[in-house]
Structure formats: structure tokens, C-alpha cells
Amino acid sequence: MTPRLVLDGVSVARSDTVVVEPLSLSMDAGEVVALLGANGAGKSSLIEAVAGHLPIVAGTLRLDGRDVTAGSLQARARAGIAWCPEGRRLFPGLTVEETLDVAATGNRRVRAEAIERMFALFPALAAHRKTPAWQLSGGQQQMLAIARAVIAAPRVVLLDEPSLGLAPAVLDSVFDAVRRLAEDGAAVLLAEQNVARALAVAGRTLVLARGRVILEGPSERIAVDPTLPGALLGV
């Protein structure tokens, strides 16, 4: 079976400085892979490069076997790579319903059904259909940001720090959603600071430090690895 997403020696630069050294990773459909590491380790840079927001300066990126390395942010979105960035970056003046409608694909009926699916995924949003995004609580904004990214049923979902600043009750629904997205067949790449939650939801984990993978393996093994605390600090 062709892997869903393949990074083959991918290296990433941010304003001409290499921030991710050549990195290889293969993900199957339905798999959740966690990216852990200290601030500045390269997690967000890797996510943004796969999304198409930062340039891949070496290596290739393949989606279902197709080389998409040269594709723009918009082209990768259309090919099925969804990106939910750190800090959510919602459209502040659009309501919940408008936000989901602009992100959905298909005719009016298909889009309306997709919006209802998102309300089933995040019932807390359903009561706020007509609320502008900027008026939502932090947890509701995070749910909307994830829903906006995944409403078009993507093949790959990139989540950058979705747990940042959220209350424990909200975390449950966010990580439940991550699990359900994978069950529905998406490959989910999750950059997280919340180590316990990330290890619990991801089958595999990569720990980055200064742009390199320093620890990698099945999450249950990483969870008990004695070098993990040091690796998370980048030492």
C-alpha cells in the first residue's frame, strides 16, 4: 500500500536559515504521529513546510505517491493537506457558519451537510453559528480552527499546538476529534507541547531538537524512554 504522506530527506528554511535538517518520515492513512520538542526545535517549521507555507529547500514530499514538493500552499490545500496553524488565525469578522462555508467544497447542499458534520464533531460550536469568530472563547476558536481545516475531508491533517491555552475539558474534545479524524482515514501530524496528551493519542512520536530528530518510535516506548525528559529540553 502506498503511504499517505512521505517526507524524504525534507529540509526546511526560514528566511534563508535552515531550521529543519534533512528528515524522513512515512505516514499511513489513519495514523497519528506526534512531534514533540522544546520551543524552537523545528516542530512548527516542519508543519508549515508540509503545509506549503515555508519552503522545502531539499528532499521531496509525496502525497499518496504523488510528488507535491513544488506545490504552493493553495495547491497543497486542494490536494488534501489541511493545516491548522499555531494561534488559530481565524477570519475574525466571519461567523462560525461563514468560516465553515468558505472552507467547505461542493454545492450548497453538500456544504451544508459538511457544516452539520463539523457541528457533530464539535457540538459546542453548534450554538454559536451566527457568532463572529473573534467573539468566541479560546476553546471554541480552537475547535473552529480545526473544523475549518478538516471540513473538506482532507487526506492529511497538520495540527500545530492545538492544546495551547485550553482548559482540560476542552482538551478532551480536541483530542477526541484528533482520534476521530484518524479513524475516518486521515493521516494526522500533531505538533504538541502537551506531552502526555500527545503520547496518548499518537501511535508514533518524533522528538525534535535544534531541527533534528533525536528520538523516534512507538509512543508507548517513547513514553517510558529514560532519555525523553532530556530530549524534550533539547539536551
Partner 1 sequence: MIEAIPQLLVNALALGSTYALAALGFVLVINAVGAVNFAHGELVMLGGFVAVGLAATLPETAVLPGLIVLPGVMLALAAVGLVLALIGYAPLRRAPPVSVFISTIAIGLIIQHAVTAGIGPEPRVGPPLIGTGSVELFGAVIARQQLATIAVAGLLLVAVHALLKHTRFGRRLRAAAQDPVMARAIGIPVVLTTAASFAMAGALAGAAGLMLSNQYFVAPTDGAVLMLKAYVATVIGGWGRVWGAALGAFAIAAFETVVAASVSYLVAEVLLYVGVLALLMLRPRGLFGEAEGRRA
The site for partner 1 (CB under 8 A) is made up of: 51-53, 72-74, 77-78, 82-83, 85, 89-94, 98-99, 101-103, 105, 132, 134-138, 148-149, 152
Nearer to partner 1, 133 or 208 (CB): 133
**What are φ and ψ of residue 208, in 5° steps?**
-105, 145
Q: Which of 213, 158, 155 has the alpha carbon at shortest distance from 184?
A: 155
Which residues 6+ apart lie within 8 Å of 53 measured at CB? Answer: 73, 83, 85
Calpha distance 178→33 (Å, rounded): 11
- Smallest distance, partner 1 to C-beta of residue 108, A: 8
Whichever of 53 and 204 has its CB closer to partner 1, that residue is: 53
CA 212, CA 5: separation in Å to the nearest integer?
19
CB of 160 to partner 1, least distance (A): 12
Residue 31 · residue 206 · CB < 8 Å: no
Measured CA to CA, the distance from residue 229 to residue 232 in angstroms comes to 5
CB of 204 to partner 1, least distance (A): 25
Tell me the C-alpha distance between 218 and 224, whole Å: 11
Nearest distance, CB of residue 140 and partner 1, angstroms: 10
The least CB distance from residue 205 to partner 1, in Å, is 25
CB nearer to partner 1: give 28 or 98.
98
> Which of 151/213 has CB closer to partner 1?
151
Q: How far is CA 200 from the centre of its chain?
A: 16
Is 149 or 187 the residue whose CB approaches partner 1 more closely? 149
Distance of alpha carbon 31 from alpha carbon 25, whole angstroms: 12
118 versus 195: smaller Cβ distance to partner 1: 118
Query: Among residues 81, 7, 30, 94, which one has the least CA distance to residue 51?
Result: 81
CB of 233 to partner 1, least distance (A): 29
